[in-house]
Structure 1
Amino acid sequence: MDVPLWVWVATIVGIVVVLAADLAIVDHPWSKKREPKELSMKEATWWSVFYIALAIAFGLGIWYFAGGEKAGEYFAGYVTEKSLSVDNLFVFYLILTSFAVPRKYQHEVLLIGIVLALAMRGVFIAVGAQAVNAWSEVFYLFGAFLIYTAVKIVRDNIKGSEEEETDYTDSFAVRMVRKVWPVTDGYHGSRLTAKIDGRRHVTPMLMVIVAVGVTDLIFAVDSIPAIFGLTQDAYLVFTANAFALLGLRVLYFLLAGLMDKLAYLSWGLAAIMVFIGVKMLLHALHENGVAVPEIGIGLSLTVILGVMTVTVVASVLKSRSDARRLKSRTGSIAPGE
């Protein structure tokens, strides 16, 4: 899709405006008296619906100006990246919990995490677009990487949740920072550094941002090959990623109480990665003259939506079953026993 420079500029400006609005909604930066608040479940739900509606409206605009095929590529990319961004959000939750970040400062960490994710994915998109245009064999690499990632996810789930075993306060990046600068025992507001006894220290807030930045880098490495398997249009790759990340702070409040209820999310993501990986390998073979069938964008969108629907429904059913089992077990214990 041939996108003029002014459309790129307008899109980026629009994304910045939405991010500024997100900041204003949650943090109220103009008010010196009002603290950032934790959104209620109802508020978070409505704002999440708004951001999803915004992404859908943009996709309909793609449909109107560029046709159904490009719109299909955008929606397939958006659903995939949204699913991966939710997984990213789960890890953010674990990081914030591990570092015991006070609730009133979590908004700032999440905002920085989203901005870093956008920046890193922007760099990976630029590099990936050049690689795809210059070397079709890169699809072999991307496809194999996605399948490997899916296998790793499944293996980690069989062994036990990898996120639960990871100590984010003692990661390699955090240890390197600790070797260079002394770290304060507690938080100093939202400041990244503080002077104690005449010596400059870094605060745990900087440690949190380092951990979030490393996580963003890892997820960018996973997500960009996935979406290039659905579309090679740099503009669609960028906008699908951007709209998937917008509203993530609001979504955090919605998912904070549901972290244990989406038990099969990782399995669903693994299935999608395998599907896209196979799609990329078939495309690479086709580009190199091998007579193999290619997977169309319509089938891709259907499979991705189907897998995520099954994943969510199965997770909800499991959560309800576990709740009934727990209630039955606790209800059978007589008082005083």
Structure 2
Amino acid sequence: MGLWVATILGLSALIAVDFFIGRKPHDVSVKEAGIWTVVWIVLAAMFGVGLLLFGESQASGEFFAGFITEKSLSVDNLFVFVLIMAKFAVPTHLQQRVLLIGVLIALVLRAIFIAAGAAIIASFSWVFYIFGAFLIYTAWKLIQEARADEPEEEFEENRLLKSIESRFGVADKYHGTKLFIRNNGKRVLTPLMVVMLAIGTTDVLFALDSIPAIFGLTQDPYIVFTANAFALMGLRQLYFLIGGLLKKLVHLSYGLSVILGFIGVKLVLHALHESGVHVPEISIPVSLAVICGVLVITTITSLIASKRQAEREAAEEAGKVRKDSVGA
């Protein structure tokens, strides 16, 4: 219990410092986003090394595998965050505040998911079969969506968000950093509050994939929570740092599907092993190598494909210009 309290207090202090430094609404530069992205990654690395020095190598390996997995899966969240920002026309100088509070809401909701998942796993070992099958299905679904190459959809508000808006009402414009205002004597939400809730509650959908995935790497709730916390708290800076690069990660869905499918198989093997069936289990070093390898390969192939696509489009545009000039 003491370790949990110390960890939560430490994370709260880091979040408070982050909030204090960025408390004034402003446009986030690439330099600022880059610095804070590195800071959060270094903090996560220090935590993992601390587990190695004061705990054991397995706990450290599980944390790094979980952190990298959650970080890679959270990049997929950024696509939706971009849609949410566009849907609600969030002013650029307010986006940092939106993401900070939205991510905090997401972290609280994920903590509830993690506690529930740990309780279920402790009581029913067969749940690993369900988690494994679900991840394999999700992996297949990701591949199908990637191959469909459907146009980008608009963000649609979930039922919870719609009910909250209906219950409290929403102001017709932003009012700085205010979350509530008085409108004709009635207290209503500002669009800023709605966007924060949208980001926090939408993350729950992603947690349905990521929480079973990390439980496939470790069954320690402490490792699961801290890996999620470090992955999510660096997500805000990552949004501003790679926002323009998201469209270039054209093979990201394929990479994530491979990772989820791999962890799904790992979960099924673990479930069989727990049931007394003698099957090989996938170790943490192997899991870490596969996850990192898939992400590196996916990133490289995505950038190559994006570059070739840009070259084709440039050549087509040049050919069109020449054709128009000849016709004139």
TM-score (norm 2): 0.92
- Match of residue 226 from structure 1: 213
The separation in 2 between residues aligned to 1:161 and 1:234, in whole angstroms, is 37
The Cα of 1:137 is off from its aligned counterpart by 0.5
Structure 2 counterpart of 1:18, one-letter code: L
Unaligned runs of 5+ in 2: none
Alpha-carbon distance between aligned partners in 2 of 1:176 and 1:159, rounded to the nearest angstrom: 33
CA distance in 1, matches of 2:69, 2:14: 21
- Distance (whole Å) between structure 2 residues aligned to residue 127 and residue 39 of structure 1: 36
Structure 1 residue 99, shift from structure 2 partner: 0.9
The Cα of 1:132 is off from its aligned counterpart by 1.3
Supply the distance in 2 between the matched residues of 1:121 and 1:178 (Cα, whole angstroms). Answer: 23
Against the structure 1 CA distance between its residues 10 and 200, is the aligned structure 2 distance closer, same or farther, given a 3 Å change threshold? Answer: closer
Give the superposition deviation at 1:70: 1.8
CA distance in 2 between counterparts of 1:193 and 1:255 reads 31
Aligned residues: CA RMSD: 1.9
Map of 1:251-266 to 2, 5 A cutoff?
251-266=238-253
Answer whether contact 1:38 1:253 (CA < 8 A) is retained: no
Per the alignment, residue 211 of structure 1 pairs with 198
1:9 pairs with one of 5, 10, 20:
5
Query: Is residue 165 from structure 1 mapped to residue 153 from structure 2 by the alignment?
Result: yes
Q: 1:287-315 CA deviation, whole Å, 9 max, x = no partner?
A: 00112111111111110001111111111
Please name the residue that 1:26 is paired with. 22
Aligned to 2:296: 309
Aligned partner of residue 136 in structure 1, secondary structure: coil
Match of 1:51 in 2: 40
Residue of structure 1 aligned with 2:263, choices 276, 280, 294: 276
Alignment of 1:1-337 (within 5 A): 5-28=1-24, 36-161=25-150, 164-168=152-156, 170-332=157-319, 333-334=321-322
Q: 1:182 to 1:54 in 2, by over 3 A?
A: closer
Q: Distance in 1 between matches of 2:150 and 2:46?
A: 36
Task: Give the whole-Å Cα distance in 1 for the aligned partners of 2:60 and 2:14.
Answer: 22
Paired residue type of 1:121: R
The number of residues matched between the two structures is 324
Shift of 1:181: 4.1
Question: Following the alignment from structure 1 to structure 2, what is the Cα–Cα distance between the partners of residues 202 and 69?
Answer: 47
Amino acid at match of 1:84: L
Shift of 1:264: 1.4
Q: Is the 8 A contact 1:173 1:211 kept in 2?
A: no
Q: Which amino acid aligns with 1:165?
A: E
The worse-fitting range, judged by mean Cα deviation, of 228-237 and 323-332 is 323-332
Conserved? CA contact 2:102–2:197, under 8 Å: no
Name segments (4+ residues, structure 1) moved above 4 Å. none
Q: Kindly state the Cα deviation for residue 221 of structure 1 after the two structures are TM-superposed.
A: 1.9
